[in-house]
Amino acid sequence: MRKTIFLSILFLNLSFVHSYSNNELYNKIDLFGEVLEKIKKDYVDEVDQPEMIDSAINGVLQSLDPYSAYMSPENFNEMQTDTRGEFGGLGIEIGMESGVVKVISPIDDTPAANAGIKAGDYIVKIGDEQVQGKSLMEAVKLMRGPVGTSIKLTVRRKNFKKPLEFIIIRKIIEVKSVNAEILGKDKDLGYIRLKSFNENSDNQFLDIIKKFEKNSKLKGYILDLRNNPGGLLTQAINITDFFLNDGEIVSTKGRKVSETRKFFARKGDEIKGKPIIVLINNGSASASEIFAGALKDHKRAIILGENSYGKGSVQSIIPLRNGGGIRLTISKYYLPSGNSISEVGVTPDIVVEETGQDFKINTKNDNQLNYALELFNS
């Protein structure tokens, strides 16, 4: 009887486990059940058993990699809002690294970005609660709250000895993925800032290109993917395709045959071979790295800025019968060169690190953008 109960708790399917014999696997399940019984009987405080099982499931997933996670029904519903373009919160993309919450990137013009949160920051406290030991979704839940309320984040930052504290006011986050303007002394450079790869990013991007291409003075493009945490793989492929005539864009490799694929560019460069500079930094991740890496491998663009984040895997959101879901890594992607960017990232052709306390993207204090503008004028 006990074996049946614990099998249902863990949702295990023995057919997926090849390294264990049936007896070995049953022994492990029995061990887990024994631990649960000991906790229930002898632990100093009374425990919430369903919550403990959720934590166990999440622990299994997070032992696989930093991006796989379990979402309770409540967290799963909240997650759905992230891809629809509007949600309440601080405006940061986060991930797990060695059990600590790490900022992948702050979203432009959001409370977190305006307060000074940077890509690569490690969040150690949310309010008065230590983050160590919490799941990613638990950290997200702590950061969200009623619009207009404040929260204190304590972060560790590279090259800073002491923790930094930020008071941030929550607000509705509207994710507008594409902004654009004409730059340059002679107003002859198309600047496109891509903040994320959302459902309609490719159409917005293409509309801007077509508008810019009507300008006979235009001599090149600066494509800004700094602090772009990624998004939909299909969008990365579509937008990269705008600038290539042929060749491979990216390949994915997984355990299933259906997850092992190659994606190629279709004939037709939307900007007719004009030169491109792509700006990246430590907050450029996932789909951003596909885009920058493909254009670099095809020698179609100069990549300028800082090394990118290094997230070279594809996650699928899989609904569960209880109304929750899991985010599970199903494949890894590879650049046209065959290189993986996992834990490595894309290395710029020209390294220009962010400088100055007053640095802000697309302002007079943006030394990386200024460098790109100078390159076009040299």
User: 304: which strand partners?
Assistant: 279, 350
* Residue 273: both structure tokens together: 């071979």
**Active-site residue identified among 288, 311, 313, 366:** 311
Cα–Cα distance measured from residue 17 to residue 326, given in angstroms and rounded to the nearest whole number: 19
Which single residue is written with the structure tokens 């800073």? 160
* Angle (nearest 5°) at CA 171 between 166 and 173: 105
- Torsion angle, alpha carbons of 118, 123, 129, 133, to 10: 160
- The SS3 assignment for 330 reads strand
Active site residue 102: no
DSSP track, 67-88: T-EEE-HHHHHHHHGGGTTEEE
User: 61: which strand partners?
Assistant: none
**Active-site residue identified among 68, 286, 313, 331:** 286
Cα–Cα distance measured from residue 168 to residue 9, given in angstroms and rounded to the nearest whole number: 39
The answer to whether 250 and 298 have CB atoms below 8 angstroms apart is no
Strands (E), the chain: 69-71, 86-89, 92-97, 100-106, 122-126, 129-130, 150-156, 164-169, 171-174, 178-183, 189-194, 220-224, 248-253, 261-264, 276-280, 302-305, 313-319, 325-334, 350-351
| Among candidate residues 348, 253, 361, 231, the one with its CA nearest the CA of residue 292 | 348
Active site residue 246: no
Cα–Cα distance measured from residue 319 to residue 109, given in angstroms and rounded to the nearest whole number: 32
**Active-site residue identified among 54, 202, 297, 366:** 297
Cα–Cα distance measured from residue 25 to residue 28, given in angstroms and rounded to the nearest whole number: 5
The answer to whether 336 and 249 have CB atoms below 8 angstroms apart is yes
**Positive or negative torsion for Cα 19, 22, 23, 25:** positive
Active site residue 258: no
Q: Which residues are catalytic?
A: 286, 297, 311
